[in-house]
Structure 1
């Protein structure tokens, strides 16, 4: 059995993914945004927990260092995400639009900093079907709405995943839409519970069936947005991410 890091695993889909993987006999390192959440995980019997607010580049780098010290990992599941509320455009301490930073840029930075495992799973969303990557306005400075920011950030995350799949053919890399799941982030009106949401990410983490460089829903390959597969766009996006994180 392998060692697996699951980001955003203090509650919701990420917690269920971690629970199922532990039930299968894997050593799971969980991630919490802050020490209070980490303390609750440890009190509940969790093993190793790394802490880091992905809305901070410094905290993301510190988390990557802490995780690397616990590795190497066989699998990393990039599950952490943020759904912006109605209101003004949210900006982090780094001067970046929060939705893009948490959902896409942090996944890029963690992948760049933590030694590559044999598998990477990026938990995305079917909202990418209405997303658009605008390299000239990744921060949504021209026009910001919660829905477009979320969809565009998840599309960017998916394109980043496919770029890493292409650049690292020895690593099995895939993205996944878990479904509309009842969590604190998505709300209680969602029709599906976290068991359903965890199923395909867990399958991608441990099954020998999937290949690499694909987008999955319900264990089936789906194609939702052509931009995610545009290799020139992928490369340009990685360059922008490297510049934004000073990680070129």
Structure 2
């Protein structure tokens, strides 16, 4: 869908497949100019074709969240070359299978798996927020959606996939800190986190009960909140969850 002068611009990271693809597709269908963050030029080409197949036009941008050192420069360049970014959806994340991965014990977790998970799931989101929210605050409008998980919920924390759990708990903490700063600014910038539930994706697997469309629903809602909407919350199915 062509965007108009008045349409908003959204950046969705990890947008070439799964929930991120569906969030980008739905925002584009709503009239947003969507920047679809992907990890490589090859994925950018494939993503363009995949979005065209489902009837929307997006602009792929190469952002490797696993390389936080270069990510800041890439985002600075993006701000110079794209319309102002009104909506940021931090969707890109990894869950590494292996020691410290999906089913193993914390005591089997390797430093490498912990570091790789932390860099993408936490540092990547921190860098994007630090780069893009100042512009939102200056312009007086912004929506940030951090794609978290009930796996990072301290209220019901248990064992299993320790690196992923810790990273999502940290992302929730980042959400609270940044939302408090945004809220203190007095302008209409909102920062929230959400859990998509267990979704049929490469990460969630084929046995998951939810479709990517269902997994994207709460993120779309948070991306399009009006000025009376929540700030600094954690949601699943549009309902607030305990941290």
Task: Give the aligned partner of residue 159 of structure 1.
Answer: 173
Partner of 2:234: 215
Unaligned regions of 5+ residues in structure 2, if any?
1-6, 100-108, 137-141
- Structure 2 counterpart of 1:22: 28
Structure 1 residue 89: deviation in Å?
A: 2.5
Residue 86 of structure 2 is matched in structure 1 by 74
Alignment of 1:32-47 (within 5 A): 32-44=38-50, 45=52, 46-47=57-58
Find the aligned partners of 2:75 and 2:84 in 1 and give their Cα distance: 12
Once structures 1 and 2 are overlaid, which stretch shifts more, 63-72 or 77-86?
63-72
RMSD (CA atoms): 2.2
Q: Distance in 1 between matches of 2:143 and 2:181?
A: 13
Where has structure 1 moved over 4 Å in runs of 4 or more? none
Does the CA-based 8 Å contact 2:68-2:123 persist in structure 1? no
1:38 to 1:203, Cα distance in 2 relative to 1, 3 A: same
Q: Does residue 1:51 correspond to 2:62, yes or no?
A: yes
SS at match of 1:54: coil
Matching residue of 1:85: 97
Q: 1:1-248 to 2 correspondence within 5 Å?
A: 1-44=7-50, 45=52, 46-69=57-80, 70-87=82-99, 89=110, 91=112, 97-114=115-132, 115-117=134-136, 118-129=142-153, 147-169=161-183, 170=187, 171-208=189-226, 210-223=229-242, 225=243
Q: Cα distance 1:154–1:131, how it changes in 2: closer, same or farther (>3 A)?
A: farther
- Structure 1 distance, partners of 2:83, 2:170, is 27
1:75-128 residue CA offsets vs partner (Å, 9 max, x unmatched): 111111100111363639xxx701111101111111112244311110000001
Distance of 1:73 and 1:128 partners within structure 2 = 28
TM-score normalized by the length of structure 2: 0.80
Q: Which digits, 9 at most, give the CA deviation of each residue in 1:154-202, with x for residues without a partner?
A: 0101110110110111321100001100101121111111000000000
Identify unmatched segments of 5+ residues in structure 1: 133-144, 226-248
Query: Distance in 1 between the 2:111 and 2:215 partners?
Result: 27
